[in-house]
Amino acid sequence: MTLIKKLGTLALSSLFVATLPALADEHQEPEFTFSIHHFLSPKAVTQTKMIKPWAERIEAASDGRIKFEIFPSMSLGGKPPELYRQVRDGSADIVWTLIGYTPGVFPRSEVFELPSVHVGSAEQTNRAIQDSMDLIAEDYADLHPLLVHVHAGNALHLVEPLDLTADDPMKGLKLRTPSRTGAWLIEALGAEPVGMPVPALPQALAKGTVDGAFVPYEVTVPLKLADLTAMSVEGENGERFGTSVFLYAMNKDSYASLPDDLKKIIDEHSGEAFAIEMGKMWDGEEERGKTLQEESGGAVATLDADKTAELTKLGEGIVERWIDEVAEKDIEGMAIVEHARKAMDVHKPEE
């Protein structure tokens, strides 16, 4: 073997040996593997545009030391209202759920569901929630919250079209509600609230169990609600019938099990920047649902100025009822409402 060939062989051998640690690191077993459980399908934007990208960013930032396994459609067992208990007790490491599925557990956070507090922008309300975390922190004493957020708000989706100019056009209808505050608004509209997790909604609409539902346009896409409804309704200038507050949270012991450097990575990918990103995403998803409703032959209707003013007045009544309800738990509801509204004003979208 010539000297040049020997030197070449030695160089290749040295290069191979030098790359062994890197290859080992690339394929190393994760130090921590966490489950993520939620109630929507794997095709829903909650998984494809929120949970999965978030998990992938943290896996990359941790150099593979953290790994996540996502379980959609309640595939770890149980029903959607049980998700809070699952993450609290540790049968799931992380969950995404609605606070409205466990009434009374998150009383302070309900303020952002209220009509006339939330008016139609997920980004605006998400920013306001971030500014208010100190006020609502006690709601999450037994969890590690990663994100508290909303969607763009509840539009009303109806199996049969209504004459929205009539007096009390919704009187007597059975309408699905996502929360107790939503139920109060339905009652104020003269309709009957029917509580159910959103995965049960398509069957309820098809069987006539309900005449309509409060959900955002975004969730009508994976549930194919355009095929089951003939009209969708919102207020003037996009005003909605309140909204739902969602919780993306981690079990406290699971979070505590991490060393400080990995906790820092989790924290850096949670909170304000994440809230703003998800607000923009949910706002942007609304048009898809509206388009599908129109393409299916349904109507996308807007309440006129007078009906929207009536809706706003009803919303004020719901706020007053909420303040009275939380006072029974020694919670200063008026102070929380005032803070929430100021935060909403600070983040009001530019016209």
**Span 67-93, pLDDT tens digits:** 999 999 999 999 999 999 999 999 999
| All structural domains of the chain with their residue ranges | 98-351
User: Which positions ≥6 away from 161 have C-beta within 8 Å?
Assistant: 230, 231, 299
Beta carbons of 195 and 213 less than 8 angstroms apart: no
φ, ψ (nearest 5 deg) of residue 274: -65, -40
**Span 205-233, pLDDT tens digits:** 999 999 999 999 999 999 999 999 999 99
Fold topology of 98-351:
D-Maltodextrin-Binding Protein; domain 2 (3.40.190)
CA quadruple 111, 280, 345, 241: dihedral positive or negative? negative
Name the β-bridge partners of 67: 33
pTM: 0.89
**Span 92-144, pLDDT tens digits:** 999 999 999 999 999 999 999 998 899 889 999 999 999 999 999 999 999 99
